[in-house]
Structure 1
């Protein structure tokens, strides 16, 4: 099996990373992919007592390695029991670098995140915000919410993907996001909901809004998404596609859409509300607040 049929999964033993692994296992069983489970650790450094200018990293330790090996054994058992082939790897190093280096040629790299606030921080460290920038394949960030955290069920017991939402803004990266969403719809047998956010914030007192400017902007956005839907219907007749134009900030609109979605696809960069989605505050907000897994295509 080639690497592009392999899914890289960051595992650190936390409920967040195990839930992400379950999502990856469900996808693998649906599509015939394999999993490669990776756990990385890097012990704190120490400062020399004399004239050392920097901390000296303690890059390995038999006790830490044994702990990580044990958690990977348990994770591996969990996925192979449901018929998903998997390999494991224990290594040392900073988590984002480890996963980015191993992501070349993969179908996805999958990581977990807390669904109610800050990003998961365990042995693998905080990677959700930085990995999509550096990964050499698409990144999937899977949030964990209270309803997901009971620990029951098998490794593919997560909800199957039936509805995929993709955010668009007319930019080239968002077009790539649409293609990614369609490919995922074909893999899962899902429908695609195209969502366009139109931000009017800061314009509420502008005089031209009284002359129909607002409706003109909304109408233009609807026409654009209608053309996109027609093109997708012609090119991908097997994929059911809907479109929606919503007034509001991109983050709020996409997070609201994620409430009824099984997967949210966003472009890595764009214009307007989606600009800097990976690098800036919009990225942080979407990845923190999404109620479903978020897929970021490779930049």
Structure 2
């Protein structure tokens, strides 16, 4: 059944509890439709309903007749988008509620996120600027949402692996300018944390997280992002890859110590990851979790994981974030350049 809110009767009170509802911002763009398709699949798996929200801007016009005409036309356009989205979801057997509201899209969605358990948006909407990789609505919602937010990028297909390079993969990692990246962790390449450090240049590019949920773990920290990732892994029956990325202990000096000198540092970080793995196993015994330890630049390594991962989960802050920033620089970079769906989870971490 479709429920609709009216602009004439705004919500009089605010619910204090979150419901088994997925919030989806829709604007009729191809990116929005991809996000909607992702949300439909998730709703069906969890047996949750969708709350579809379409907005139109509040614009002041001096002439009241012109202003009323504009508002009516804008509302009708938003309603048409909402009707199409509602049909798309209900054709897949998903329960929906539909809302057309006037105002800033980010603010409207953030308000709705107070009473939903998950929010989903496209990486860029219909009004995104050419060349801008992350839209203002997706970045604003990820930073301010009260519930976890999934950002679905351009080109993501819920029915296929990935198709941008024509070779059945998400392609080679790229840097911020869209060029192929030559990511080189500082003194050992991407390794499974159970292995000793290694310096093989092909290790990072050969690493695949296909079919896995990736969670970025900040030096043994636990928090809401970790548990959301573990829950996603449980619900979808997928392995959980715990990825920890830390800078070299000698700093960014452009040179590397011998591997034997880095072993104590590696063991210390491995011990932190092992404690997190133990905590996950205690709460989610059916989830297969694996630790992966990297030394290098967190944003570059995490963007690389989005080349193959089914979902990459990030905290709003961490991995070197500064106090006062709602969305840390690493999370922002991954959202901008990531190529798989990415979940941003609000809340603070705790030391394991």
Q: Normalising to structure 1: TM-score of the pair?
A: 0.81
Q: 1:215 to 1:77 in 2, by over 3 A?
A: same
Task: Give a deviation string over 1:9-56, Cα, whole Å, max 9, x none.
Answer: 0001111111111111100000100001001110554689xxxxxxxx
1:204 equivalent among 254, 258, 262: 254
Structure 2 equivalent of residue 248 of structure 1: 296
1:203 Cα shift? 3.3
Quote the residue 1:267 is aligned against.
315
Matched residue, 1:84: 94
Separation in structure 1 between the aligned mates of residue 315 and residue 237 of structure 2, nearest angstrom: 22
The answer to whether the Cα contact below 8 Å between 2:26 and 2:33 also exists between their aligned partners in 1 is yes
Counterparts of residues 90-101 of structure 1 (less than 5 Å): 90-101=100-111
Name 2:31's counterpart in structure 1: 16
For residue 165 of structure 1, the aligned residue among 211, 214, 237 is 214
Mean Cα deviation higher: 80-89 or 277-286: 277-286
Matches within 5 A, 1:32-111: 32-45=47-60, 61-111=71-121
Measure the CA separation in 1 of the matches of 2:252 and 2:343: 30
Distance 2:220 2:241 in 1: 17
Q: Is the 8 A contact 1:171 1:271 kept in 2?
A: no
Indicate the SS of the match to 1:110: strand
Tell me: CA distance 1:164–1:211, structure 2 relative to 1, closer, same or farther (3 Å).
closer
Higher relative contact order (CA 8 A, sep 6+): 1
Q: Which residue does the alignment assign to 1:226?
A: 274
Q: Is the 8 A contact 2:214 2:305 kept in 1?
A: yes
**Structure-2 residue corresponding to 1:118:** 132
Structure 1 residues 120, 210: closer, same or farther in 2, change over 3 A? closer
How many Å apart are 1:211 and its aligned residue? 9.4
Contact 2:220/2:276 (CA < 8 Å) preserved in 1?
no
In structure 1, the residue matched to 2:165 is none
Q: Which moved more, 1:24-33 or 1:182-191?
A: 182-191
Give me the TM-score of the superposition, normalised by structure 2: 0.70
SS at match of 1:5: strand
CA contact (8 A) 1:162 1:189 kept: no
CA spacing shift, 1:31–1:10, aligned 2, 3 Å: same
Q: Please identify which structure carries the higher helix content.
A: 1
Other-structure match for 2:151: 141
- How far apart are 1:6 and its partner, in Å? 0.6
Instruction: Return 5+ residue gaps in structure 1 as ranges.
Output: 49-56, 149-155
Q: Paired residues, what number?
A: 275
